Amino acid sequence: MAQVLEFKLPDLGEGLTEAEIVRWLVEVGDVVAVDQPVVEVETAKATVEVPCPYGGVVTARFGAEGTELPVGAPLLTVAVGETAEGGRPATGPGTADGEAARGQGPAAEGSGNVLVGYGTSEAPARRRRIRPAQPAPAAPAGPSAPAAFAAPSANGRPRTVETRDTRDTRAADAPQQPERTGTPGAGGTPSRTAGAADGPVPVISPLVRRLARQNGLDLREMTGSGPDGLILRADVEYALRAAAAQGRTGTGTAGEPRTQAAPATDLAPADRAVTRIPLKGIRGAVADKLSRSRSEIPDATCWVDADATELMRARAAMNAAGGPKISVLALLARICTAALARFPELNASVDTQAREIVQYADVHLGFAAQTDRGLVVPVVRDAHARDAESLTAEFARLTESARAGTLTPAELTGGTFTLNNYGVFGVDGSTPIVNHPEAAMLGVGRIVPKPWVHEGELAVRQVVQLSLTFDHRVCDGGTAGGFLRYVADCVEQPAVLLRTL
């Protein structure tokens, strides 16, 4: 018999807990090779292709395009072994699949890609038998038969509620049920029974548990729409909407009063057309991160106008000398790294658990990039060790990857300081929100001609507004002001940087 292996959605790194299926790259019955991409998923950070660590024939897929799955949920199953005619695994004795099932053939070779939860050695020696599902025998009718009745679940989907006598009778009389094959029932959503509610709650994502707990929902009363009845975030949100429509926010325990929800007309009057957009993917990740920054970081902002005329002249001279063109963002990044060397308090974060300020020796500079999928913050590693030409090339590479949606989680995390050039939107100033868990962000407005007093006379100069938002826990206003003043001095007189080169 061929060995059927289940490939679950791996942890794609950096604490991601779920991903949305964007596009399947294989069909049921296709033959896949080890490390062949099988599905394209969108996480809260990027769109990535997920390779399968097994080689064989795809026997089942779990989830349609657009479905959001938690990490650890089944993606697909693969029958491992050599294939015979028709694309099905060969099952005869003495064939290569017998060796593969025992871990001796080529099909037992491990994946070259490292996925969290999947090694690079042998495939797991776990078997699943695929047998046709059989309906459970009906309970005998009669006056002595215990009663069972249907009741709505917490999320509005039907479930069966049985008495203890019913469960005892069914356990004694019903034959052992076969294993589940991954094929959904007629309704498309497996229902849970009260007997199943006695076991573990089928929830993987901690976000789902927290959402249910905060709103007083009992997950044992819910029917999951995911594989094997897995409860997804969409199920909890559906239950909350149903509860709000019934004038409550959730189902509390016995004896607890239910909290009355605000009338729907307060948020969306019946005579007003509204559009509801789910906060998920990058938009949801940005919302969560900015909300956390506002709630945890006591930030403050200071700003200053600077004459950038000399900086623009220096850039023009660099570009006139030949070679790759130097961007304004690269020059500002070079100024940032020099300023952080003088004021290392701002290249830091706060460890709230240990109540410590963590200062970093290296500068991993994040920069805000607007894409069609939303705002992302790619990170330039070791920006303090790069010159303007290297910074320009890395900014261009990361920006192109961000627009193509191919940034990896490693390229979107680990920053220690962020540079936000919102001047590209044609605005002068802003009060940026600190990119949690960093301690500061420098904002740069547009560089435009303005009246300016230069050498005692009124002149038209290239003026830019600089703003610094910082975590007041890591430093006081004197340090923040000193950092911003040094940045402004370097913008006005780029020769100041020669002292640190």
Q: Pick the closest to residue 62 from 156, 219, 190, 176 (CA basis).
A: 190
Rounded Cα gap, residues 54 and 111, in angstroms: 7
The three-state secondary structure class of 160 is strand
Q: Quick one: tokens of 418?
A: 């962020």
Gap between the Cα atoms of 281 and 72, Å rounded: 18
Q: Is 234 helix (H, G, I), strand (E, B) or coil?
A: helix
Residue 153 Cα distances to 126, 158, 192, 301, 338, angstroms: 35, 6, 9, 49, 60
DSSP assignment letter at 495: G
* Strands (E) located in 103-157: 148-152
* Token couple for 245: 């429509």
Euclidean distance between CA atoms 327 and 307, whole angstroms? 18
**How do strand 365-367 and strand 417-421 relate by DSSP bridges?**
parallel
The answer to whether 55 touches 7, Cβ cutoff 8 Å, is no
Q: Given 165, 168, 362, 476, which residue is catalytic?
A: 476
Token reading at 205: 């994502």
Q: Which residue matches tokens 């000193």?
A: 482
Alpha-carbon distance 421 to 36, whole Å? 39
- How many angstroms separate the CA atoms of 499 and 501, rounded? 6
- The H-or-E segment that residue 464 falls in is strand 457-471
Question: Is 472 among the residues known to form the active site?
Answer: yes
In sign, the C-alpha dihedral spanning 153, 158, 159, 163 is positive
478 Cβ contact partners less than 8 Å away, ≥ 6 residues apart: none
Q: Is 408 helix (H, G, I), strand (E, B) or coil?
A: coil
Instruction: Assess whether 428 carries a catalytic annotation.
Output: no
The strand pairing partners of 459, in sequence order, are: 452
Contact 380, 391 (CB under 8 A): yes
And the tokens for 202? 């089928």
Task: Report the Cα 366 to chain-centroid distance in Å.
Answer: 18
Q: For the chain, what percentages of helix, strand and coil (3-state, to nearest 5) are there?
A: 30, 25, 45
From 165, 173, 387, 472, active-site residue: 472
| Catalytic residue ranges | 472, 476
